[in-house]
Structure 1
Amino acid sequence: MSVRPPKPPRQERWDRRMETPLAVASVAYLTGYAVRVLADSRLPRGWLDLCLAVILTAWAVFGLDYAVRLRLSGQGPLRFVRTHLLDTVVLVLPLLRPVRMVDLYYRIRRRHDRPRLDLYGRVMVYAGVSVALLGFAGALTVYRYERHAPGATILTFGDSVWWTCATLATVGYGDVAPVTPVGRVTAVGLMACGLALLGAVTGSFSSWLIQAFTREDEEGDGKRPPGDFPGAS
């Protein structure tokens, strides 16, 4: 597994400068995509074109940021892709960009103040918000490609949200299911993300419980008088 090298100072300055523009572009992209999918038949053509322009502009911002960071890193394209695989995936699939906003939020908080939550709390919050954003993006994508497909069972956005929740939770009721290639690929991605992120929450919660019980046992042992142990006469 490759290790990401330290960032050059110029790249570090660029990352800080682009934090706010990337956050705004991420929200704009998701909003424009959601409006185009959910209000496709109810909005005038001009508004739909405006949403498309917002989506393409946000994508251009992502591409510009990626190209500049590649240039400033001093690495070759293949090495940069290997050491920034998640960034590359997010560039190709911009609907995953809002998930990066969670990491961006914590990086800003760490630079200005100590995070209010401990490690276990941050992991659970990060996983929970990531699941919600991924689920919303996945529901939009599946609804877009499934609603007019022959033999489709996901006909409304409500159906798509229900299916997304069941898929992320790995329940799989089977009452509705995607029939298009894009829908099925999205399903595979959601199942993988659901297993990984929900597993992180479960593991962090279990570790927190073990740590809490261990601390209570240690504090209880410290409060006993010398020689006062269970079974001592």
Structure 2
Amino acid sequence: MGDDSRVDDGRPARWERRAEGPLLLASVLFLAAYTVRVLAPGLPGAVRAVCLAVLVAVWAAGAVDYAVRWWLSGRGADFVRTHPLDTLVLVLPLLRPLRLVRVYEAVQRRTGRPRLPLHARVMTYAGLGAVLLGFTGALAVYQQEHTAPEASIRTFGDAVWWACATLATVGYGDLTPVTPLGRVVSVGVMMCGLALLGAVTGSFSSWLLQVFAREGDEDSAGPPER
């Protein structure tokens, strides 16, 4: 009985290790295909159809991976609660490129090199997440807005500027989405921007407090005795 339980406990981890590489490659393909469809509308219909097929195939692969990990975990509804990013990516495929944030961790595990300290990792992941989220958010908003009547976001450059201002929680207001879907994307980018900014500032503040506390301990200990 004990041996079987240990084997069962290791199955989800083994599946994640095997699927990690293909899923990261799928995330790259998803981002590339979506970028081509949005920024190159003049391509032949066959090329655009291939890009659409890639998007659907990547989403299907992600859905299969999610279902398998859910089944292997044996946790039912708790799996959904404890894997919010995976659940969100399944519902909103545009967030799939955020899986690329795990590239650093995967490389570190395979090379056996020591990982960055916790605070540095949080800031690294948040920075990569902000770049990927900003790019995909700009693509989504540009796709919805550039042909809409009375839209202020007409070029991809406008969309990138809007994404930077939104992620930074500056909100200049010079460029705003006017379509319903564009506003939904805007709300999502705002919420994620606040979360990423909070992660960076919180981790940086915690690191500073630890540095000050360590220096305080060293000062209170006094010079070493001779």
Give the C-alpha shift of residue 151 in structure 1. Answer: 1.0
1:135-168: per-residue Cα shift (whole Å, max 9, x none)?
Answer: 0010000000001111111000000000111111
CA change 1:225–1:25 in 2 (3 A) is closer
CA distance in 2 between partners of 1:91 and 1:104 (Å): 19
* Aligned position for 1:118: 117
Q: SS in structure 2 opposite 1:174?
A: coil
1:101 and 2:81 are equivalent in the alignment: no
2:49 is aligned with 1:72: no
Deviation at 1:46, TM superposition (A): 1.6
Task: Tell me what 1:27 maps to.
Answer: 28
Structure 2 runs not aligned, ≥5 long: 1-5
**Matches for 1:25-174 after TM superposition, within 5 Å:** 25-41=26-42, 43-76=43-76, 78-103=77-102, 105-107=104-106, 109-110=108-109, 113-174=112-173
SS of structure 1 residue aligned to 2:41: coil
Q: Is 1:14 the counterpart of 2:15 in the alignment?
A: yes
Q: Which residue of 1 aligns with 2:223?
A: 224
In 2, Cα distance between equivalents of 1:189 and 1:204: 22
After superposition, the CA RMSD in angstroms is 2.0
Secondary structure of residue in 2 paired with 1:8: helix
Aligned residues: 219
Return 5+ residue gaps in structure 1 as ranges: 1-5, 227-233
Counterparts of 1:206 and 1:38 in 2: how far apart (Å)? Answer: 39
- Partner amino acid for 2:164? C
Q: Distance in 2 between the 1:117 and 1:75 partners?
A: 31
Identity of paired residues, percent? 61
**Given residue 136 of structure 1, which amino acid in structure 2 is its aligned partner?**
F
Deviation at 1:128, TM superposition (A): 0.4
- Between stretches 109-118 and 12-21, larger displacement belongs to 109-118
* Residue 114 (structure 1) shift: 4.8
Alignment check: 8 A CA contact 2:63 2:90 kept: yes
Letter in 1 for 2:157: G
Cα distance in 2 between the residues matched to 1:89 and 1:117: 27
**TM-score normalised according to structure 1 size:** 0.86
Question: CA contact under 8 A between 2:108 and 2:115: conserved in structure 1?
Answer: no
Q: In structure 2, do the counterparts of structure 1 residues 80 and 203 end up closer, same or farther at CA, with 3 Å as the change threshold?
A: closer
Residue 11 of structure 1 aligns with an amino acid whose one-letter code is: P
| Residues 147, 154 of structure 1: 8 Å contact kept | yes
1:32 Cα deviation (Å)?
0.2
Aligned to 2:3: none
Give 1:22's aligned amino acid. Answer: L
CA distance in 2 between counterparts of 1:14 and 1:205 reads 34
- Report deviation, 1:45: 1.4
> Which amino acid in 2 is paired with 1:203?
G
Q: Where is the helix percentage greater, Structure 1 or Structure 2?
A: 2
Aligned partners of 1:106 and 1:115 also within 8 Å? no
